[in-house]
Structure 1
Amino acid sequence: MASRPTGRLIYLDEPEKLETQEYEVPEPEPGALIAEVVRANVCGSELHIWRGHHPQVKEGVLGHEVLCRVAELGDGVTTDYAGEPIEVGDLIAPVYYITCQRCYSCQAGQFHLCQNAYRYWSKPPEEPPHFHGTFSTHYYVHPDQYFYKVPDGLDPGIAAGANCALSQVMFGLDETGVEYDDTVVVQGAGGLGLNAIAYANEQGAETIVVEGVDGRIERAREFGVDYVVDFREYDTVEARSERVRKLTGGIGADVAVEVAGVPAAFAEGIHLLRDGGRYLEMGNVSPGHTTQFDPGALTRKSIDITSVVRYNPWYLHRALDFLDENSDSYPYDELIDAEFALDDVEEALHKSDSRAVTRATLIPEHKH
C-alpha cells in the first residue's frame, strides 16, 4: 500500500509563539477535498490572532486568505459551489470559514454569521485532518465549506486575495446600499480600503479616502480615488469633516466606510456623513477597544449604521468574477509586495506588523 504524503504547517501555541509541525496528509472524506497551498497571504486578522487579540481564535494553525491547487477529491466532489466542473490540478479559492446550514444564524439566512464558522480553525494540529489553516503546505476543505474554481487567465497572485478582503468589502458595501452617483468616504487605504475604492468606483460612486501614509495615499490614487483627505494636513475631526463637506457641495458624504481598524475612526465617521447618510463599520474587529462616541449627533443626523463580519459565502464567487473583469483596470498585481518561504513565517509576520511590507504572501515548497 502506497504511503501517504506528509506536509508541514505553522501552529500558534500561544501569542507570538509559533511551531512548525509535520503530519501525514489525510485522505479526503466524501464531500471534502485535499488541496496544496499555492500561496497564503498575511492578512490583518492573522496579525490579530498572532498577537492574541482575536476574540475567538486564540490558537491553532494560522492562515485563511489563500489560493490552492486541488490534490485529491473526496467521493461525490465533481463541481465547485457554483456548479463548475472541478478536477485534480485546478486552482481554487476556498471560503475560509464553515457554513453549517443548521445553526440559528444559517436558518435565518445569515450564513456569514454561522455559529460554527470557526469549528475547525482553532483545533489543535494533532487532531485530524491536521491541516486546519493555510499557513501550511496542504489545506483540508471540508464538506460544508464553500470553494470556487479560479477563472482561467486570472493571475494567481491576484486571485489569492479574493477570499477575504475583496469579498468582505463587496458584501459590506452591498449591505450598505452603495448606489450610482453616491459619494463614498473610505477611512483607511490598506487592503480593505483599496478594494472599497475599486468596488465603489465600479458601482459609479465618487470616492474620497482619509489617510496619512504616503505609500497608502499613492496606492489609493493608483486605485482611482477621486479625492484624498490627508490627516496630517487636516489634523482634527472638525478639519476633516469640513474638508469632506467642501468636496461634497457643503452636504457631506452619502456613505462612509471604516476600514482603518482604529476605534476613534468609528466615532469620527458620523461627522463625515450627510444627514440620512449610511455608515459601514468593518475595520474594528477586536472587542474591548473603546472610544468616546456622540450618540446624539448620530440621532440628530439619522445615520444608518451597518456592521458586518465575514461575508455570505457566494460573495467569493462574485469577487473572483470582479477580479477577472477588472484586474487590468487596477494595480491588484502590486498589492503583494513581499514573498516569503513558509519557514520564514515569523519574518513575514514581523514585517507585516511593523508595516515594513504592505501585504506579504507565503509560498510553500512541495515535495513530490
Structure 2
Amino acid sequence: MTQKIGHLALMTEPGQLSMAQYEIPEPAPDALVLEILRANVCGSELHIWNGHHPVKKRGGLGHEMIGRIHSLGAEVITDYAGETVSVGDRVVVTYFQTCQRCARCRGGQPNLCDNAYQFFGKQPEEWPHFHAAFGTHYYVHPHQHFYKVPDTVPDSIAAGANCALSQVMFGIDQISLAYGETVLIQGAGGLGLNAAAVAVERGARVIVVDAVPARLEQAKAFGAADVVDISAVTDPTERLAAVHEMLGGEGPDVAIEVTGVPAAFAEGLDLLRRGGRYLVMGNLSPGRTVPFDPGYVTRKALTIKHVDRYEARYLSRALTFLERHQSAYPFDQLVDAEFGLSDVKDALDASAQRKVTRAAITITGAPEPAGRPVTDLHAASAR
C-alpha cells in the first residue's frame, strides 16, 4: 500500500531551513486535516526567522493561510459558525487555540489563552507533525476555530483573514475607534493596510506613515487620505509638524503602531493629541527598548492599549468584511511575490530584506527537498 506523505518546511535554527516529510495523520474524532492552498509570510515569521523570538528557535513556520479540508473527524459536522462542512471545502483557521480552561479564558480574555500555542510550539517530529502552515498539510485541533470561506472570496484574499485582518479588526474595537475620528497608522505592511480599510469603513480619516513609497501608494488605495514618507521627511519634528498641518494644528485621536520598530512607539506618543489613544500591536520582540517618559504620557493623558492576538470570533467577521468590501480595496494586491514550498527560505530572506512587500507560499504539490532532508515516516505515527 502506498504511504500518503506530506511535506513541511522546518527551521533547523534561525536563518536555516530544511524540508521534512511525514505520513499525513488521520484526524481525531473532533479534529480535521487540511491541505494548505497558500500561506503568507507575516511579520511574526520574520521575528522567528531572524532569531528574535524568545522561545521558538526551531520548528515549523507559517500561520496566515487558507486550506482545503482533506479529512474530517467523525464528530466534525459544522464550522464554528454552524455552517455544514465537508471534504473539499475551503476554510481558514485561527493559528492559536482557545483552550476554554485556563485562567485567561475563564476570565473573559480568550485572546490571551495561556495555552494558545500549545500545538504551534511543538516540533514536527511529534505527532500529528503538521503544526504550522508552510507545508502541504495542517492539523486543526479541537479548540482551534475554523470557518468556511465564502465562494466569492478567492484564495489570494482569504489567506490573510486569519491574522492581519482579524487582528486589526479586534484591535480597533479594543481602542474604540469612533465615526468621524482621525487615526494615524504607523506602518503600511499587511496589518497597516488592512487597518486602513477597516478604519475607513468605520468612518475615520486615515493617515499612514511608512518609509517605502510603494507601500504608501498602496495605503492610498486602501483609503488613506494622507501619507507621510519617512524616507523623505527624515526628522521626527518635521513629521510631527506635517501631521499637525494635515489635521488643522493637532495630532490624531488614535494612533496604531504596526511597524515592529521600537522607535515608532516613542514617536507615536508625540504624534497623538492630548487625550489621544494608542493601539500597539507591532512590537513583539522582547529586549528591544526605547526611552520612555511616564510623566509625559500622564501630562498628555494618553491611553495606551497593547493587544495580543484576537478573539476567535473575529475570524468570522473578517470573512464577512472581505465578502462585502473586496471590490472596494485591492486586497488581491497585498501579496506582490509568490514562492513554492521548496523556496520558503527565499521567501523569508526576500521579505526580511524588504525586497518584496508581502510574500505568499503557494502549495502545488510535494517539493524537492531543499538542503539535507529531514525524514521520519514512522516515528510518532500513533498518539
Whether the TM-score (by the shorter chain) exceeds 0.5 is yes
Number of the residue aligned with 1:239? 238
Q: Please give the residue correspondences for 1:83-122 in structure 2 after superposition, counting only pairs within 5 Å.
A: 83-122=82-121
User: For residues 227 and 143 of structure 1, what CA distance do their matches in structure 2 show?
Assistant: 44
User: For residues 9 and 98 of structure 1, what CA distance do their matches in structure 2 show?
Assistant: 21
TM-score (norm 1): 0.97
Number of the residue aligned with 1:138? 137
Instruction: Between 149-158 and 233-242, report the one with greater CA deviation.
Output: 233-242
- 1:196 is paired with a residue whose SS is helix
User: For residues 316 and 118 of structure 1, what CA distance do their matches in structure 2 show?
Assistant: 17
Determine if contact 1:30/1:143 at 8 Å carries over to the other structure: no
Determine if contact 1:281/1:308 at 8 Å carries over to the other structure: yes
Give the aligned residue type for 2:206.
T
- Count of aligned residue pairs for this structure pair: 366
- 2:273 is paired with a residue whose SS is strand
Determine if contact 1:34/1:70 at 8 Å carries over to the other structure: yes
Number of the residue aligned with 2:375? none
Number of the residue aligned with 1:38? 37
TM-score (norm 2): 0.93
- 1:324 is paired with a residue whose SS is helix
Number of the residue aligned with 1:276? 275
Number of the residue aligned with 2:171? 172
User: For residues 87 and 56 of structure 1, what CA distance do their matches in structure 2 show?
Assistant: 36
Give the aligned residue type for 1:193.
G
Number of the residue aligned with 1:297? 296
Deviation at residue 3 of structure 1 after TM alignment: 5.2
Give the aligned residue type for 1:88.
V
Determine if contact 1:15/1:52 at 8 Å carries over to the other structure: yes
1:239-296 superposed Cα distances (whole Å, 9 cap, x missing partner): 2222222222222110000111110110111111111110001110001001112222
Number of the residue aligned with 1:322? 321
Number of the residue aligned with 1:188? 187
Number of the residue aligned with 1:287? 286
Determine if contact 1:121/1:132 at 8 Å carries over to the other structure: yes
- Segments of 5+ residues of structure 1 without an aligned counterpart are none
User: For residues 345 and 86 of structure 1, what CA distance do their matches in structure 2 show?
Assistant: 30
- Segments of 5+ residues of structure 2 without an aligned counterpart are 367-383
User: Is 1:14–2:13 an aligned residue pair?
Assistant: yes
Number of the residue aligned with 2:69? 70
1:135-172 superposed Cα distances (whole Å, 9 cap, x missing partner): 10000000111111001110111000011111111111
Sequence identity percentage: 55
Determine if contact 2:104/2:113 at 8 Å carries over to the other structure: yes
CA 1:87–1:351: 2 relative to 1, 3 Å:
same
Deviation at residue 30 of structure 1 after TM alignment: 1.2
Give the aligned residue type for 1:248.
L
Give the aligned residue type for 1:310.
R
Q: Please give the residue correspondences for 1:179-258 in structure 2 after superposition, counting only pairs within 5 Å.
A: 179-258=178-257
CA 1:17–1:232: 2 relative to 1, 3 Å:
closer
Number of the residue aligned with 1:345? 344
- Aligned-residue Cα RMSD (Å) equals 1.2
User: For residues 52 and 140 of structure 1, what CA distance do their matches in structure 2 show?
Assistant: 25
- 1:315 is paired with a residue whose SS is helix
Determine if contact 2:16/2:345 at 8 Å carries over to the other structure: no
Give the aligned residue type for 1:98.
Q
